[in-house]
Amino acid sequence: MSTVKRSMTRRSGGRACPGSGLRRLGAWMAGLATWLAASAVGAQPPPTPAPGAATEIALPPPRLQGPMPLEQTLAQRRSLRSFAATPLTLAEAGQLLWAAQGISDGKERRTAPSAGATYPLLLYLVAGRVEELPAGVYRYLPQGHRLAPVQQGDLRSPIASAAYFQTWMREAPAYVLISALPARTAARYGQRAAARFVAIESGAAAQNLLLQAVALGLGGTLVGAFNETALRELLSLPAEAEVLAVIPVGRAR
């Protein structure tokens, strides 16, 4: 045993130096800091409404029964990249959003699974041609099944350009953008696990939406190629948000 090791052993009463305890304390303090940061993110106020717009827009109640069985929607789901000019109805837009992230029981649980019920996803409706809804960007609020206006104006073309000029997207009457605040999930599971859990949740929400589109006689495509920084700026998303997917939806041409 070296002189240094013998000295350390004597000072600690024959036990190893308590460095492991200090490391555990440091890890606990780091976890607390992450939890506090996530709480601040989760407590952020709702998006600022567009000038002159209503604070919130109530959506028609989601339907819980439809004419098409699940097996048929699975068989018919295909990526759609050619859209008719027909607008979406407000009820259709609301049904798509509910399918992806709506509340499905009295305990605030949602239609898509979420690790630890942390619910990091934020959904935005980019409306171009939606009946009873001015063109603009709206954040979906699952509590109360409502929309909160974020921006006025038709942003479909700029978003298509930010998606590396996928011009076919411009024909869709609306987009649903899936974003997330990963800190909500990281506060419980850590950054590395949160990245996986948020991706899984986003995929579940997207598939729910696409299957619901088929049941409504609509279609869509999951788009994952885009300039995230450009989209975040276009839609005035929170700085902490990550953009995960854009789903143009509408009727087939």
Whether 6 shows a pLDDT value over 60: the answer reads no
Of the given ranges (5-19, 33-47, 126-140, 185-199), which has the lowest mean pLDDT? 33-47
pLDDT at 54: 53
The verdict on residue 4 lying in a domain is: no
Note the pLDDT of residue 33: 34
DSSP-assigned letters across all residues of 55-83: S-EEPPPPPS--SS-HHHHHHH--B---B
- Tokens 């949602």, residue? 110
Per-residue model confidence as pLDDT tens digits over 212-230: 999 999 999 999 999 999 9
Residue 137's domain comprises 18-250
Residue 243 falls inside a structural domain: yes
Q: Where are the alpha helices (DSSP H) in the chain?
A: 3-11, 19-42, 70-76, 90-101, 156-162, 183-189, 191-215, 228-234
Q: At what angle do helices 90-101 and 191-215 cross, to 10 degrees?
A: 140
Asked if residue 13 is part of any domain, the answer here is no
Region 228-253 average pLDDT: 94
Four-CA torsion 155, 240, 42, 47, nearest 10 degrees = -30
The number of folded domains in the chain is: 1
Residue 5 falls inside a structural domain? no
Quote the pLDDT of residue 29: 39
The answer to whether residue 3 sits within a structural domain is no
CATH of the domain at 243: 3.40.109.10
Burial class (CB in 10 A: 0-12, 13-18, 19+), 27: exposed
What is the Cα–Cα distance from 151 to 234, expressed in whole angstroms?
9
Rounded Cα distance between 162 and 144, Å, is: 32
Does residue 57 lie within any of the structural domains?
A: yes
Considering the domain boundaries, does residue 8 fall inside one? no
In a domain, 12, yes or no: no
Q: At 17, list the tokens.
A: 């130096």
Condensed to tens digits (0 to 9), the pLDDT of residues 34-63 reads 333 333 333 333 344 444 445 899 999 999
